[in-house]
Amino acid sequence: MHKFTALFLTFLLSFSVISCSSEPTQANKSATPITKQVNIVHPIIVLKTSEGDLEIELFSDVAPLAVENFMTHIKDGYYDGIAFHRIIKDFMIQGGDPTESGTGGESIWHIDFKDEFVDKTFNKSGVLAMANRGPATNGSQFFITTAATPWLNGHHTIFGQITAASFITLTQLNNTALNGSKPIKRVQIDKAYIKSEGK
């Protein structure tokens, strides 16, 4: 009798172990959350310049602080009427300084903000980036490259790229007559506006 009882208990224990297997049940499988891929739509802004329009896609997923700063300044009319105070042919055009001296301007937070270096590089013309005085000194000034400038990688936050249709205007700005790095004839942002907010 004791032998039969022992065998019966062994059978029950074996059944219990099998039933507690870690293999997920159908209910568990259906309860597993499915990761949904999110398609990011970048904001598009337009700088209406004295030489034509520059349409720019902003990398809100890569440099959210720089994009928020730029878009808020645009909404506030901060860049309207400001000159591109510095142009170096086959390198870049620079603007965003309300004093037009190259030393002015501030962020929407009224203090400098940090750099945002991710996976974007200065590998072509038309790249939009923050101008600065050194690490973590971003304010309102920005520049757009007119050639590949790889030596700037890791030194300036990249937060946008001009669209294909805007390269004609960028070429005209690049070919501006200069006295050193200062345009002889004033070139400016007449109006900046947001074409689409993105999501």
Strand blocks (E) in the chain: 44-49, 52-58, 86-88, 92-95, 127-130, 142-145, 158-162, 178-179, 182-183, 189-196
Question: What is residue 150's DSSP assignment?
Answer: G
Catalytic member of 42, 85, 94, 159: 94
Is 91 noted as a catalytic residue in this protein? yes
β-bridge mates for residue 160, sequence order: 58, 128
Catalytic member of 84, 113, 122, 143: 143
- The answer to whether 114 touches 134, Cβ cutoff 8 Å, is no
Is 143 noted as a catalytic residue in this protein? yes
Catalytic member of 58, 84, 86, 161: 86
Catalytic member of 117, 152, 172, 178: 152
Any idea which residue has 């990398």 for tokens? 59
Is 152 noted as a catalytic residue in this protein? yes
Is 156 noted as a catalytic residue in this protein? yes
Residue ranges of alpha helices (H) inside the chain are 2-19, 26-31, 64-75, 167-174
User: Do the bridges between strand 44-49 and strand 182-183 make them parallel or antiparallel, or are there none, so unpaired?
Assistant: unpaired
Is 15 noted as a catalytic residue in this protein? no
Catalytic member of 65, 142, 156, 161: 156
Is 133 noted as a catalytic residue in this protein? no
Catalytic member of 132, 155, 172, 178: 132
Q: Is 126 left (phi over 0), alpha (psi -120 to 50) or beta?
A: left
Half-sphere exposure of 2 (CA within 13 A, CB side): 0
Is 186 noted as a catalytic residue in this protein? no
- Active site positions, annotated: 86, 91, 94, 132, 143, 152, 156
